[in-house]
Amino acid sequence: MGLRTPEEYREGLRDGREVWVRGERVDDVTLHPGIGIAIDHGANAFELAFDDVTRDLATCKINGELSSRYFAPLDTLEAVKTRSRLIEEHTRRARGSLNLIKAVGTDAYAALRSTSFAVDRSEGTEYGERVAAFYAECACADKSVVLAQTDVKGDRSLAPHAQPDPDMHVRIVERRSDGIVVDGAKAHTTMTPVADELVVLPTRAMSEADADYAVAFAIPPATEGLRMICGPLPEPGSTFDRPVSTRNVEIETLTVFDRVFVPWDRVFLAGEHQYAATLATTFATYHRFTAVSYKLPMIELLLGCATLIAELNGVGRASHIREKLARIVQYLELLRSCVQTAAASAVTVEGGWYLPNPVYTNVGKLHFAQDFHTIVQYVQDIAGGFAITAPWEADLLSSDTGPWVRKYMQGAAGSDAELRLRLFNLIRDLTASDYGGYNLVVTLHGEGSLQAQLLQTLRDTDLGPALLAVADAMDVELPSVSTQPTSPLPIVR
Amino acid sequence: MGLRTPEEYREGLRDGREVWVRGERVDDVTLHPGIGIAIDHGANAFELAFDDVTRDLATCKINGELSSRYFAPLDTLEAVKTRSRLIEEHTRRARGSLNLIKAVGTDAYAALRSTSFAVDRSEGTEYGERVAAFYAECACADKSVVLAQTDVKGDRSLAPHAQPDPDMHVRIVERRSDGIVVDGAKAHTTMTPVADELVVLPTRAMSEADADYAVAFAIPPATEGLRMICGPLPEPGSTFDRPVSTRNVEIETLTVFDRVFVPWDRVFLAGEHQYAATLATTFATYHRFTAVSYKLPMIELLLGCATLIAELNGVGRASHIREKLARIVQYLELLRSCVQTAAASAVTVEGGWYLPNPVYTNVGKLHFAQDFHTIVQYVQDIAGGFAITAPWEADLLSSDTGPWVRKYMQGAAGSDAELRLRLFNLIRDLTASDYGGYNLVVTLHGEGSLQAQLLQTLRDTDLGPALLAVADAMDVELPSVSTQPTSPLPIVR
Amino acid sequence: MGLRTPEEYREGLRDGREVWVRGERVDDVTLHPGIGIAIDHGANAFELAFDDVTRDLATCKINGELSSRYFAPLDTLEAVKTRSRLIEEHTRRARGSLNLIKAVGTDAYAALRSTSFAVDRSEGTEYGERVAAFYAECACADKSVVLAQTDVKGDRSLAPHAQPDPDMHVRIVERRSDGIVVDGAKAHTTMTPVADELVVLPTRAMSEADADYAVAFAIPPATEGLRMICGPLPEPGSTFDRPVSTRNVEIETLTVFDRVFVPWDRVFLAGEHQYAATLATTFATYHRFTAVSYKLPMIELLLGCATLIAELNGVGRASHIREKLARIVQYLELLRSCVQTAAASAVTVEGGWYLPNPVYTNVGKLHFAQDFHTIVQYVQDIAGGFAITAPWEADLLSSDTGPWVRKYMQGAAGSDAELRLRLFNLIRDLTASDYGGYNLVVTLHGEGSLQAQLLQTLRDTDLGPALLAVADAMDVELPSVSTQPTSPLPIVR
Amino acid sequence: MGLRTPEEYREGLRDGREVWVRGERVDDVTLHPGIGIAIDHGANAFELAFDDVTRDLATCKINGELSSRYFAPLDTLEAVKTRSRLIEEHTRRARGSLNLIKAVGTDAYAALRSTSFAVDRSEGTEYGERVAAFYAECACADKSVVLAQTDVKGDRSLAPHAQPDPDMHVRIVERRSDGIVVDGAKAHTTMTPVADELVVLPTRAMSEADADYAVAFAIPPATEGLRMICGPLPEPGSTFDRPVSTRNVEIETLTVFDRVFVPWDRVFLAGEHQYAATLATTFATYHRFTAVSYKLPMIELLLGCATLIAELNGVGRASHIREKLARIVQYLELLRSCVQTAAASAVTVEGGWYLPNPVYTNVGKLHFAQDFHTIVQYVQDIAGGFAITAPWEADLLSSDTGPWVRKYMQGAAGSDAELRLRLFNLIRDLTASDYGGYNLVVTLHGEGSLQAQLLQTLRDTDLGPALLAVADAMDVELPSVSTQPTSPLPIVR
């Protein structure tokens, strides 16, 4: 099969999938204006393979065939590093907007692969082969693969089986000879209406009582009983007024599983509850590495906005402005150093692939999620009030208002009102709009909450050297304190 | 005349004023859907006087006639405190959304009044009488009075007269026997298209070379040559989906002065450059007191959102959630204590009125502007990803998707999916939307930038006691260090 | 009896009390150099009554006799405000160093008084009279009264009765006809070796199983079985080099109760476990009000240090320096506004006295404890490296090194090397020394930890208005949510 | 010659150098108790070469002879990385206390080497050979080489030549045939009284008018006219009570140059003012790389303290404690990732050596300096009040107080009172003592102020990619904006 063109990807989406927008069924997702933006955005993932500049980065031979590099085995440190570069460059070409249509499903690939090695070894199951076969098929057919992980959860203080309604987490309701039947719903499933395959993973550790909830599998979005209810969709419009949100936006659904059947060859976990945590955490770690990689271009874009608007406003030399620019640089480069260190010090997991170093991955993710609102504040602070009050393209183009807008939107000597206006609009689009709000919340909650990352960071850390330093400083031997990282990751030590 | 009804206010806006939306002239602002939202919001300011609950707070006798309390003289400490309560309560009834249609113009009143006492005394001018007469007329006719202060500024590193284009700050281009003619443009003028009067003030200190820019005056928005170019407007829609932004939003314009004539009796400063700073700073202080007062209900609303969504999500007992709720309480109550202390320790200015204590006013404003992005982060953090992915009212109402939405949007035991959905939508509307973006930037830049407030805070502070404490601790006499506050405020010491 | 002189106070300490310093018994505390500094510092509390400037503030008539105002009833809002001013002014005269020798014991007075009203009413006990009699005696004899509250706690995750060693919290080990016998130890008891009376309070809520730990009483420090083991003591030295730490330092002990007998008339709680939380929390609130009051002069002193060293270094005009000065001002004035608002909105407790508003008190305490390290950073940042490397008085006085020191420690034009050197030494003493370290930790842990204050703040808050605002914004009625503050305070509502 | 033993190093310091302590001349530095601590600390740098564990890391062949690796050429990326490991490991063995006796002088080596290539090429000078010869001699004789850079500065707002007293920066006062004579004083010169050689560098950019101040050279501390006036010195004492400050402390002097003669072969810059900035900035970058490396063990030690005390206090499972531990981990690992990235992406400078990547170096330094006070706060917060009130070793050893201390200083089940006491003492020593204060200020000001690093970070950054991203997002070409980093570093691009 080999690499698909963007047009082939687009065509593949006309398969009768059940997508709902504001209570109405969408007949053909490719014809819907809002979903269409997500499809265009998704199509970028296929364009990379046909662009002279990105081809080498975006493709590689897999099983002898030229394929998307997203499916490449992470069997060398170089492969980990290259994957990060691919995600970064992909995002850069999507105006800093994350584009998970291939990344998230292959993050799941790596997690399923190493976890299934562990499960199969202990439990005598054959998940490993199924995982390998499924992804070989996806690579060969150049499919986009997305993910559903976060359950709707109901009362978050209760375990899955203890909820008043047992469907608050996706679960096996029937085991048949040919496969399983699942019920439940997943929240915030990204790009499902415009993807080729959907992988489902558990969202947390499961006890024995939760065994039916320890389930992982893959299905095509057009599977019967799968219902995708779209949240907010982007809206088409002037690319002058909204340069990013008219073109590069992901969409999210509440994804309902209404007695969905999954054949056994696509079931990757079915009741082995003691591995739910491993699978969830390993996926989270791979996916946070994707996150730290895709965040770089967004921050770079914000840094560029702040730098340029400072110049155009004539305040580029002011001390407090330069301090804020330096803070944005610091935020960006601390993140970049985490990405590079996570790749350079990746660890080996069961099955022999590499996992980006969990400590640096979590620390990086925590860093960008923790401070992003502050960075947005810096950008808005430097931009000034025009970030929300600047006129629109139509005001500039009108022969009535255009001359006034051109005259009064001038900035520092030599700066062009149109450029300045474009820039204010870009800043509004990125930070002070529906899309800006999406950016803020995705940064906080994408790939897990702040609290989850704080605790994960601590669990991933070997505190031994720190305790040894204390003992040395005090000239004592310490009573035995367990310092092994406690994360349930399939790391080979 | 006396108090006007909301309907009379509405009617008064049909006066041929020149308002532009996306390059098109608006014939009748009351018929425009987006501007209509701003008019409804503005009408609140008039409704208060007819509501049994708020009447006493919102009205008082002025010159023997029942009038809006916004015009009440600030000649007692109690009056300062009551004004703050009025602004707070007014905003609370507008769903936490600031509503400046009467507040900002009367902030200007207080500033013009005390400054004109100083100017008249030194320069032999008669501005005081004009200011008094103008505002007596406004009070009597129950007008809404708004303000234009921030010039477009061009290259912000240059003084007004040194700009390549001399119109980057509003200036007098002709002095006639009957009045002055002004050119220029003001940015971010709030609610001008829906107000009865527009007061114009200088935005900064002016040197002698900038004398033509030291100008203050009042005109009706329908004055010839005054052109209002609207920035983003709110859009009508479901109040379930967007409970605030469909109903309570202010609008902003780029306001162009194209050879606008102002008769002398409405000119309040015309060339006395040494008072531009006093006028600008005094207004800023009064207006920041309005700001610290109107911010309380917005923060209270965010605290309510965070508290309730934590309960509905079933995480209200989690330690990190309670810490974040406590942080929001702290943010709110630190601000409230500044408001109360600023009122209780107001200072006397020329002419005998009170000015809210400038230190506490600036400190309070700085406090809320500095940390608002972080508070938004807490609310979004507690809410979770549904803050951007929750379904809409239409999804709930549809007989197809409604049942699924009701089932899967349930939260903690006993919580209603509809309530939870409304709440996610409210949180999105307030923090992660076009309106949310407006909130973030208005908080930063309304009433002056962070940097302006930092420096103003220091200039308002008497450092004498601190230096004396150092001298005492060291048992020395200090060489004379000037510690008098350096702000150009007309305080009577 | 009436007011005692500092000398009478000093003499009163020669009573055979059992004080230990580095393993050695101290025969006479007034002759010990380190403890002597604490006595001089404590004596300030008596000097205030004889100083013309402070007499009116420091004294008042109690039962017809001129007494220390520390014992004044808090039965008017004015009394609350005046107490705050007294504590502030007292601390200012002690170079910003807290001086609890009268404050903490009278904080306990107010807490014991209102709690005993509640206990006596429910339990038929007679604690109220005992409390009144004890404090009348203290007021009449002008005693210093200090406090022991924090138990040593052992394993902090276990309740008192569940500890492997039952003595980890002070407890009643025997009830006799004439009184009780207690065992245990209290940590961080401030100024006990140099006070006239010691009041003991429980440190936390107690369950029925912990009833023996619900104990409050008063004893003189010379009581048999009371052993005070001193922690770090201040050291005498040059007041040029260490202007504060040679003169104004409190001392702390580990205070052991080894079968200490307490007669019934000095027992204020003995087993009524359900009131332990009320007593502990009420005391904490009164004492945090003391804390927010005594912190003002320390911050003022740091602000003075930063302001003056900026001038002497010639950087007073630099933008980033002015920003940091403004931040210190903001920190100080936010705190001051909390103090004033807490006093102005104090609430009535059982027995009719006022309790400073618990919300503003806790918010203020939290504010200063949270950010003090950052303020210290600003001061050190502005000062520069000489804050730790500046020469000493002896270097200046020496005829060999003096000329070099005078020449090279010059600062901005006209500044005197000696003054600059004194100032660097003061900054070192306050922020980068044994005493500076004490300041940092006392700010964090004095009056309870950050976490305790965060949670207390939330428990003291009525969330009703915030929830109502949410309901209003969404046009719904809320299901009943309990919003009453949950703190166990004896507030009369 | 080869490697010297610690004893040889010690002997070498008895050379009549002029050191002053509190106004008194020190005859023999090796016999002075305070300076002796610094000598023991300095001796560590020599011990590393004789310790089986560290020998390989600490030594290498230079010119065919086994030498200290501190002098190794930085001509490979591996060499940069190894230098960082050496500094880290060296500091770890010094209980987290920085030990610059070999590091700082060899940082100067690298800076002098690359700068002299640039100067010699442009100016025809022969500094390169002198630098090479001097350091070959130091390597061969295994000397410790320290640095004087920060001038006393007088009025910091004035350039060197514009100061009222021209000696506020070190300057050439006479040029002779055999060398130069210099006057002035340097502040905060670290370890000069206990080093073998002193290198002097300019502290800032110099204009032509400041040419005499553009001077760099090396002299032995015993040179006539060099006077070292010690600031605070460490004090001997119990290693139980003060485990670090009794053993591992650097000392600082005010170092006066009173007509000090320097022969030409040790002069490395003498008037070529346009290279002063290059030399100062290049040194700062090398030295900040040393700083980010030496800071790791200190933070690791603080992390260990916090982890262990949480366990011993029985609060290791509390949510807020775990969050704070995770924050310390994050702080540490963000720094470590900067160190690793700075080494891995080092850049080539004139003469062919590597310079650690200036962006990551500055970002890392800024990161640790910015947040160190907060980390200290976390440690103190977790430790509790015993961090300042815990008893001493003598209290534990005394047969009178020992039993009480043992009983009441117990922590969580099974924890030993002695261990807990040692740990509280370690925490006090590191964070809340004279040495703790030194730590705070050194972290802020060592290697330049926060503001210097903020601005340096921005100057080191190539903003081109960020601006390109903005242009791409807006579909425009940007007018040419200069984005080349502006730092005066001798980078070969």
Model pLDDT, residue D1 = 61
Of B221, B242, B273, the domain-final residue: B273
Q: Give the residue from A105, A118, A113, A147 showing the smallest Cα distance to A129.
A: A113
Mutation site for C-interface testing, chosen from A319, A321, A322, A324 by largest number of C Cβ within 10 Å? A319
- What's the angle, vertex CA A14, arms to CA A12 and CA A20, rounded to 5? 125
| In a domain? residue B1 | no
| First-last CA distance in chain B | 39
Across A439-469, b (16+ Cβ under 10 Å) vs e yields bbbbbbbbbbbbbbbbbbbbbbbebebbbbb
pLDDT at C481 over 70: no
pLDDT at B1 over 70: no
| In a domain? residue B477 | no
Residue type, A309: I
Query: Which tokens in the block code for residue C469?
Result: 């605002």
pLDDT at A413 over 80: no
If asked whether residues B241 and B346 sit together in one domain, one would say no
> Residue C330 class from Cβ within 10 Å (0-12 exposed, 13-18 middle, 19+ buried)?
buried
DSSP reduced 3-state for C348: strand
If asked whether residues A433 and A376 sit together in one domain, one would say yes
Binary contact (D320, B320; C-beta < 8 A): yes
Q: Which of residues 191-230 of A touch B (CB under 8 A)?
A: 227, 229
Note the pLDDT tens digit of each residue in B257-309: 999 999 999 999 999 999 999 999 999 999 999 999 999 999 999 999 999 99
Q: Alpha-carbon distance A276 to A63, whole Å?
A: 30
DSSP E strand boundaries for D277-324: none
Q: Alpha-carbon distance C38 to D152, whole Å?
A: 37
If asked whether residues C288 and C316 sit together in one domain, one would say yes
What residues pair up with C24 in beta bridges, in sequence order?
C21
Contact B251, B215 (CB under 8 A): no
If asked whether residues A122 and A249 sit together in one domain, one would say yes
The minimum CA-CA distance between C122 and chain D, rounded to whole Å, is 35
DSSP E strand boundaries for D202-285: 215-219, 226-230, 252-263, 267-270
Average pLDDT over residues A40-44: 96
Mutation site for D-interface testing, chosen from C157, C186, C319, C408 by largest number of D Cβ within 10 Å? C408
- For residue D363, the tally of other CB atoms under 10 A from its CB is 31
Helical spans, DSSP H, in C60-185: 77-93, 103-123, 127-140
Model pLDDT, residue A482 = 66
Distances (CA, A) of D21 to A45, C153, C246, D208: 70, 45, 21, 38
User: What mean pLDDT value characterizes chain A?
Assistant: 96
Distances (CA, A) of D164 to B190, C424, D149, D150: 53, 22, 21, 19
| In a domain? residue B405 | yes
Model pLDDT, residue B120 = 97
If asked whether residues D273 and D330 sit together in one domain, one would say no
Q: Alpha-carbon distance A229 to A24, whole Å?
A: 9
Q: Alpha-carbon distance D57 to D45, whole Å?
A: 12
Contact C467, C478 (CB under 8 A): yes
If asked whether residues D239 and D308 sit together in one domain, one would say no
Note the pLDDT tens digit of each residue in D405-443: 999 999 997 788 999 999 999 999 999 999 999 999 999
pLDDT at B151 over 70: yes
Look up the CATH number of the domain holding residue B185. 2.40.110.10
| In a domain? residue B38 | yes
The position carrying tokens 């081109």 is D464
Average pLDDT over residues C469-484: 85
Q: Give the residue from D378, D434, B472 showing the smallest Cα distance to C387.
A: D434
The position carrying tokens 């490979």 is D76
If asked whether residues A372 and A357 sit together in one domain, one would say yes
Contact A432, B252 (CB under 8 A): no
| In a domain? residue B88 | yes
Look up the CATH number of the domain holding residue D360. 1.20.140.10
What residues pair up with D171 in beta bridges, in sequence order?
D183
Query: Which tokens in the block code for residue D92?
Result: 């770890």
Contact D363, D338 (CB under 8 A): yes
Task: Judge whether C259 is closer than 8 Å to chain A, CB to CB.
Answer: no
How many Cα atoms occupy the beta-carbon half-sphere of D121 within 13 Å? 10
Model pLDDT, residue C484 = 78
If asked whether residues B253 and B292 sit together in one domain, one would say no
Nearest to D470 among A360, A416, A426 (CB): A426
If asked whether residues D305 and D442 sit together in one domain, one would say yes
| First-last CA distance in chain C | 39
The minimum CA-CA distance between B173 and chain C, rounded to whole Å, is 35
Average pLDDT over residues D370-399: 97
How many Cα atoms occupy the beta-carbon half-sphere of A15 within 13 Å? 18
Cβ pairs A/C, distance under 8 A: 8
- With cut-offs at 50, 70 and 90, classify the pLDDT of residue A478: confident
Task: Judge whether B373 is closer than 8 Å to chain D, CB to CB.
Answer: no
Note the pLDDT tens digit of each residue in B305-340: 999 999 999 999 999 999 999 999 999 999 999 999
Query: Which tokens in the block code for residue D420?
Result: 């807990």
**Torsion (CA) B312, B314, B318, B320 in degrees, nearest 10:** -50
Average pLDDT over residues D197-211: 97
Tell how far CA C227 is from the center of its chain.
22
Contacts of A447 (CB under 8 A, 6+ apart): A284, A287, A288, A290, A291, A365
Note the pLDDT tens digit of each residue in C54-107: 999 999 999 999 999 999 999 999 999 999 999 999 999 999 999 999 999 999
The position carrying tokens 């010090």 is A345
Task: Judge whether D317 is closer than 8 Å to chain B, CB to CB.
Answer: no
**For residue A317, what is the nearest residue in chain C, using CA coordinates?**
C319
| In a domain? residue C476 | no
- With cut-offs at 50, 70 and 90, classify the pLDDT of residue A414: confident
- For residue A27, the tally of other CB atoms under 10 A from its CB is 11
User: What mean pLDDT value characterizes chain B?
Assistant: 96
Tell how far CA A417 is from the center of its chain.
36
| In a domain? residue C78 | yes
- With cut-offs at 50, 70 and 90, classify the pLDDT of residue C493: confident
Model pLDDT, residue D30 = 97
Task: Please state whether C95 falls in left (phi above 0), alpha (psi between -120 and 50) or beta.
Answer: left
Q: Give the residue from A207, A229, A204 showing the smallest Cα distance to A216.
A: A204
pLDDT at B370 over 70: yes
The position carrying tokens 């590099």 is A69
Q: Give the residue from C78, C75, C105, C102 showing the smallest Cα distance to C90.
A: C102
Q: Alpha-carbon distance C325 to C316, whole Å?
A: 9
Q: Alpha-carbon distance D446 to D442, whole Å?
A: 5
Q: Alpha-carbon distance D367 to A371, whole Å?
A: 13
Q: Give the residue from B83, B80, B53 showing the smallest Cα distance to B70.
A: B83
Task: Judge whether C423 is closer than 8 Å to chain B, CB to CB.
Answer: yes
DSSP reduced 3-state for C200: strand
Of B257, B273, B289, the domain-final residue: B273
| In a domain? residue C468 | no
Q: Alpha-carbon distance C84 to A206, whole Å?
A: 55
Measured between beta carbons, which residues in chain C are less than 8 angstroms from residue B467?
304, 307-308
If asked whether residues C170 and C234 sit together in one domain, one would say yes
What residues pair up with D127 in beta bridges, in sequence order?
none
If asked whether residues B181 and B227 sit together in one domain, one would say yes
Pairing relation of β-strands B24-26 and B18-21? antiparallel
**For residue C471, what is the nearest residue in chain B, using CA coordinates?**
B304
Distances (CA, A) of A197 to A40, A148, B266, D103, D488: 18, 11, 70, 57, 53
Q: Give the residue from A419, A305, A391 showing the smallest Cα distance to D475.
A: A419
Measured between beta carbons, which residues in chain B are less than 8 angstroms from residue A431?
437, 440
* pLDDT, greater one: B1 or D201: D201
pLDDT at C305 over 90: yes
**For residue A257, what is the nearest residue in chain B, using CA coordinates?**
B404
Q: Alpha-carbon distance B63 to D418, whole Å?
A: 80
Which domain does C235 fall in, by range? 6-277
How many structural domains is chain B composed of? 2
pLDDT cut 90: percent of chain A above it: 95
Measured between beta carbons, which residues in chain B are less than 8 angstroms from residue A252?
388-389
> Residue D64 class from Cβ within 10 Å (0-12 exposed, 13-18 middle, 19+ buried)?
exposed
Q: Alpha-carbon distance A130 to A261, whole Å?
A: 17
Task: Please state whether B430 falls in left (phi above 0), alpha (psi between -120 and 50) or beta.
Answer: alpha
Q: Alpha-carbon distance A105 to A87, whole Å?
A: 13
pTM, to two decimals? 0.97
Helical spans, DSSP H, in B386-474: 386-389, 393-397, 402-408, 417-431, 434-445, 450-460, 464-474
DSSP reduced 3-state for A321: helix
DSSP state of B233: -
Of C277, C312, C332, the domain-final residue: C277
DSSP reduced 3-state for A180: strand
Contact C488, C277 (CB under 8 A): yes
Q: Which of residues 17-36 of B touch C (CB under 8 A)?
A: none
Q: Alpha-carbon distance C431 to D434, whole Å?
A: 9
Model pLDDT, residue B159 = 96
- For residue A123, the tally of other CB atoms under 10 A from its CB is 13
If asked whether residues C180 and C271 sit together in one domain, one would say yes
Q: Which of residues 388-417 of C touch B (CB under 8 A)?
A: 414, 416
The minimum CA-CA distance between B454 and chain A, rounded to whole Å, is 11
